[in-house]
Amino acid sequence: MTSSFWIDGRAADAATLSRLQTNYGHLSTMQMRGGAAQGLGRHLMRLQSANVELFGTALSDERIHRELAAALRAAAVDDATLRVSVGALDFSAVERGDAAEVALLVALSPPRTPPASPQRLQTCRHQRPLAHLKHLATLPLLHARRTARAAGFDDALLVDGAGHVTEGALWNIGFVDAEGGIVWPDGAALRGVAETLLREGLHAAGIAQRVAPVRRSDCLAFRSAFACNSNGLWPLASIDGQAFAGDPVIPAALQAVLATAPWEPLMA
């Protein structure tokens, strides 16, 4: 499968793509399997709330379902990595502060899975602007990842100006304490769909979890750590070359929680 781009079930044309190249917009990325995604309703809520904040207009469930399903049909695939980006067709309306009509650009690419080996992290001092939004301004995140890899690490871990861990470059992080409880770092970060599903599932299962400030200097006191995003769950091996106290494995309880999250089908 090669990557493809679709707008309302039609191959995206150059003129429309050019109108969307403003770097002002929002997105959501999900793994589709059999035309369904885990946490699909959460992805829709993310797109809808961001659209009201950035463009002053509503996006209906029906429109999002229709355009995503149309792209899958047009590409003749059921399994894919689906990224939907939302941007204004008339950017002058955004600049005036008016409500703006938007286009949904659906990018389809081969399915992705989480990294197979525990990842080695390098910290990067960076605070994402408008951290609660999954917006298009990803250059600092990708640059942090590139810098980490050039230095021999696997990925970047973001730390704010006060030295608190917030999130990974394109994923959320959780820690496992000495008793096996889960600790989610407090702070300004994008709370991803996978993290939300895990937190809800842990609560339903009665498994201990808490949200607390985590300083960079506190990290290695934890037994282990893990990352999560729409690709799934994967273990973390070390931070800035220092390993965690325990083995880099994903707790079975976390795997079980994520496995029970239902796959929600797109409704054409």
Mean pLDDT by 10 residues, the chain (268 residues): 88 91 95 98 98 97 97 97 96 95 97 96 96 95 98 98 97 96 96 97 96 94 97 97 94 94 92
Report how far residue 244's alpha carbon sits from residue 227's, in angstroms, rounded to the nearest whole number.
14
Domains in the chain and their CATH numbers?
4-109 (3.30.470.10), 119-262 (3.20.10.10)
DSSP H/E element including 115? none
Position 7 scores a pLDDT of 95
pTM of the model: 0.95
pLDDT of residue 180: 93
What would the pLDDT profile of 195-228 be if each residue is shown by its tens digit?
999 999 999 999 999 999 999 999 989 999 999 9
According to the model, what pLDDT value does residue 3 have? 81
Token pair, residue 63, equals 């429109």
CA separation, residue 221 to residues 12, 38, 157, 211 (Å): 49, 32, 17, 16
Q: Which residues contact 18 (CB under 8 A, 6 or more apart)?
A: none
